[in-house]
Amino acid sequence: MDAGCRPYQPLLEDGGRAWHELLSAARHIVITAHRGPDGDAIGSTTALAAWLRRCWDADVHIVVPNIFPDFLKWIPLADEILVYDKHEADVRPIVEQADLVIMCDHGELSRMWTLGDVVRNHTTPRIIIDHHPNPEAGIADIVICHPECSSCCEVLMRLILELDGYAMGTAARPDITHDEATSLYTGMMTDTGAFTYASNRPEVFELIALLLRCGIDKDIIYRNVFHTYSPARMKFQGYMLYSKLYVWKKAHTAIMTLTNAERRRFGILNGDTEGLVNMPLQILGIKLSIFLREDTEQPCIRLSLRSVDDFPCNDLAAEFFGGGGHRNAAGGEFWGTMDDAVEHVKRAVQKYLPKLRD
């Protein structure tokens, strides 16, 4: 694994020889994503699938652990994605027949839950393409992981350009199709909050310029993702901000909670809570936003954390909630009641109070 994602430095060792050997021998490829796939997971898997089919003439399937938000179902190839949860009998044989597994936007088998067990028990070559720190050791033949990058889609785009021999800085249009470019841009956009964080590096916008040359309409992509609210979601959002938002001024922290009873009350659909955790960061002085919600499938509390500046919400998530992520965007879980989870959050924030007040 390279030491860092420096501007236009090669991502692959040995000129990509190991990559070419694995891809040349593969006939049935499965691409996976983490549980609760987001825009970067769906963008990277669909872009990679399209590119592999076009350039390597391979049989490719995308398999995700569980359902993904409705507002991502317009993405090219999203209608072909196989969902493992509740479809194990149909999907498991496809995974077990694969002669290559490529893990996108995650570097740990546990992040796929039961699908991860299937992949672990199926001894076939694996590749990791990711931007999360500290990938699981010993589970992949090739690890392409660069936490400095904005998104998995940025890493993947860099990889595609490198393998295609594209010379950065030229006026040439890259050999990326419109559909591939659409998926790549969607992942980069969603994993940076529409380029409001984790996107200060000039290379990010140089890559976006290349995607624009491929004919994407970034304004339509933005509307497809962020302007799809139903009347019920708008009412739900107002309720959450008015009734469920707790602002801890001295800790520069905002906390919101959501129960499954409230989901049912407002008729919340899959994906309707997406982005809610970001909203409290618009409050003057707030550095950390934490959103707790009852899981719809497991008896636990899911947490999403967002921060600004240098506050490491991934460290807090890892230490107190068995999670992780990036400095400004992380997640975790708590097995217990909502009340207990909130008290645990307060203890975690109390420990990190010096950094929040800095």
Examine the domain organization and report whether 31 and 103 are in the same domain: yes
Q: Does residue 133 lie in a domain region? A: yes
Cβ atoms of residues 223 and 257 within 8 Å: no
Side-chain half-sphere of 242: how many Cα atoms within 13 Å? 6
Question: Are 78 and 181 contained in the same domain?
Answer: yes
Give 153-199 pLDDT, tens digit per residue.
999 999 999 999 998 888 889 999 999 999 999 999 999 999 988 89
3 occurs within a structural domain: no
* Confidence tier at 7 by pLDDT (50, 70, 90): low
pLDDT at 171: 82
Indicate the range of 95-99, 269-273, 337-341 predicted with least confidence. 269-273
pTM of the model: 0.92
User: Are both 261 and 278 inside the same structural domain?
Assistant: yes
Within-domain flag for 296? yes
Amino acid at the residue 248 = W
- Please report which confidence band the pLDDT of residue 3 belongs to, taking 50, 70 and 90 as the band edges: very low
pLDDT at 269: 81
Q: Give the number of C-alpha atoms closer than 13 A to the C-alpha of residue 78, restricted to the C-beta side.
A: 21
> Is residue 60's pLDDT more than 50?
yes
Looking at residues 112-133, what average pLDDT do you find?
96
Question: What is the distance, to the nearest Å, from the Cα of residue 13 to the centroid of all Cα atoms in its chain?
Answer: 25
- pLDDT at residue 35 is higher than 50: yes
pLDDT attached to residue 82: 98
Model confidence band, residue 128 (pLDDT cutoffs 50, 70, 90) = very high
Which has more pLDDT, 299 or 243? 243
Q: Which CATH number covers residue 152? A: 3.90.1640.10
Q: Are residues 209 and 62 in the same domain?
A: yes
- The predicted model gives 254-273 an average pLDDT of 93
Residues 210 and 333 in one domain: no
- The boundaries of the domain holding residue 58 are 13-224
* Residues 339 and 278 occupy one common structural domain: yes
Whether residue 212 sits in one domain with residue 250: no
pLDDT confidence tier of residue 4, bands split at 50, 70 and 90: very low
pLDDT at 15: 84
Query: Which residue, 201, 224, 247, sits at the end of a domain?
Result: 224
pLDDT of residue 135: 95
Residues 52, 180: Cα–Cα separation, whole Å: 11
Classify each residue of 327-355 as buried b or exposed e, where b means 16 or more C-beta atoms within 10 Å of its C-beta.
bbbbbbbbeeebeebbebbbebbeebeeb
- Based on the fold, state whether residues 264 and 209 are members of the same structural domain: no
pLDDT at 211 over 50: yes
Mean pLDDT on 46-51 = 98
> In this predicted structure, what is the pLDDT of residue 8?
67
| Mean per-residue pLDDT over the chain, rounded | 94
236 with 169, same domain: the answer is no
Tens of pLDDT, residue by residue over 284-309, are 999 999 999 999 888 999 999 999 99
Phi and psi torsions of 193, nearest 5°? 60, 50
Q: What percent of the chain has pLDDT over 70?
A: 98
Q: Are residues 86 and 187 in the same domain?
A: yes
Is there a domain that residue 215 lies in?
Answer: yes
Tell me, what's the pLDDT at 309? 92
Residue 17 belongs to some domain of the structure: yes
Q: How many domains does the chain have?
A: 2
Q: What is the mean pLDDT of residues 85-96?
A: 97
Indicate whether 292 belongs to any domain. yes
In a domain, 6, yes or no: no
Same domain, 203 and 303: no
Q: Do 20 and 130 lie in a common domain?
A: yes
**Packed helices 202-213 and 152-163: angle between N→C axes, nearest 10 degrees:** 60
Look up the CATH number of the domain holding residue 344: 3.10.310.30
H or E element that contains 59: strand 59-64
Whether 134 shows a pLDDT value over 70: the answer reads: yes
> How far apart (Å, rounded) are the C-alpha atoms in residues 350 and 344?
10
Position 170 scores a pLDDT of: 85
User: Which of 224, 250, 273 is at the close of a domain?
Assistant: 224
Q: Which of 181, 209, 224 is the last residue of a domain?
A: 224
Residue 220 lies in a domain: yes
Confidence grade of residue 207 (pLDDT, cut at 50, 70, 90): very high
What does the pLDDT read at residue 271?
83
pLDDT over 50 (residue 1): no
